[in-house]
Amino acid sequence: MKKLIKFLPVVMIAAVLTSCNSVKVAADYDKQVDFNTYKTFAFFKTGIDKAEISDLDKRRILRAIEAELFAKGLIKSENPDMLVSIFTKSQQRVDIYNNNWGWGGWGWGGFGWGGFGPGWGGFGPGFGWNNQPLVSTTNEGTLFIDFIDANKKELVWQGSGTGYLPSKMEKKDERIKEFVSKMMEKYPPGMNK
């Protein structure tokens, strides 16, 4: 039992880090639309300009979307069938885990066992309660990709991906590609059944 209690903090930290690494995706679409009719696309500048992220991140996202659409056989065009827009939301996520069990800290006196002196947590580490919570802060973001019918000017498909956002530039490219790739697995609708 003591070994289990000793390793629970490690398991909790691993669970937090693992949950931060996953991207949760969803898609919604108009069931009346035949997505096979969309062969060409262009980016909808008006919508993209409103996205509240840096121009560098916008370019990263647009390059990733473009690569995914090319891989699906669509062609970029001046006279497109479909317009592509994006928008984002972000929030700081704070997770607090109360760690009210495990090995105690340093202390003096008392009765019982532990440390260099008698007592629960005599002078040295002893068994007791650790009242210091584990606090984890991450930036969580949601990326939305909208596909708009260029002729009707109607939204026909929307993908969303939510997950941890890294602050280091080297990791941003890969993370953005992961967001877009996982969302685009859901386009066109019905292909991944």
Q: Average pLDDT, stretch 20-45?
A: 93
55-76: average pLDDT: 96
Domain boundaries, the chain: 24-98+134-184
Looking at the structure, give the CATH architecture of the domain made up of residues 24-98+134-184. Answer: 2-Layer Sandwich (3.30)
Question: To the nearest whole percent, how much of the chain has pLDDT over 70?
Answer: 68
The closest alpha carbon to 127, from 102, 108, 107, 110, belongs to 102
Q: Are 84 and 41 in contact (CB under 8 A)?
A: yes
Shortest CA distance to 185 belongs to which of 165, 159, 162? Answer: 159
For the segment 123-136, what is each residue's pLDDT rounded down to a tens digit? Answer: 445 445 556 777 77
- Overall size of the chain counted in residues: 193
**Per-chain mean pLDDT for the chain:** 78
What would the pLDDT profile of 149-174 be if each residue is shown by its tens digit? 999 999 999 999 999 877 777 788 89
Q: What is the pLDDT of residues 87-111, one digit of tens each?
A: 998 877 677 777 655 544 444 444 3
Inter-residue contact 102 to 8 (CB < 8 Å): yes
Cβ contact 45:80 at 8 Å: no
Q: Which residue has the tokens 């209690």?
A: 5
Q: What are phi and psi of 120, to 5 degrees?
A: -70, 110
Question: What is the SS3 assignment for 176?
Answer: helix
DSSP 79: S
| DSSP 8-class letter at 132 | P
Q: Which residues pair with 157 in a beta bridge?
A: 29, 147
Please state, in angstroms and rounded to a whole number, the distance separating the CA atoms of residues 182 and 145. Answer: 12
pTM over 0.75: no
Give the per-residue pLDDT at 3: 53
Contact 87, 78 (CB under 8 A): no
User: What phi and psi values does residue 80 have, to the nearest 5 degrees?
Assistant: -85, 160
